[in-house]
Amino acid sequence: MSLENYKKLEVMTTKKIDIKGHVCPMTFVYTKLALEELNKGDILEVELNFRPAVKNVPKNCERQSLAKLIEVREINTQEEIYELILEKL
C-alpha cells in the first residue's frame, strides 16, 4: 500500500496502541499481540518512545511476516515520541 493510499484510509485505522515507557523486546511483544487481533490489511498505529524500537519493531514484524511498515511519524521531537504505521500481512 502506498503512502497516498494509506492517507485515504487514515480514517479506517483499526487499532492504536500506546507502548511509551516500554523497551525492547516488550515493544515488539505488545505490537505482535495487537497484530494478532487484526485481519490482513488492517492498520495498526503504535506510539512509542524507545528509539531503538523504531527500527527493531518493524524489522521483526517483517521478519516474522506479521506486518509491513507504512510510515514512521515523529510526534514529539523533544520527548522522542514516534508513531509506527503498520499494515497487517
Q: Which residue is it, cell 505482535?
A: 32
Q: How far apart are CA 27 and CA 32, in angstroms?
A: 9
Phi-psi region of 80 (alpha: psi -120 to 50; beta: other; left: phi over 0): left
Report, as residue numbers or ranges, the catalytic residues: 24
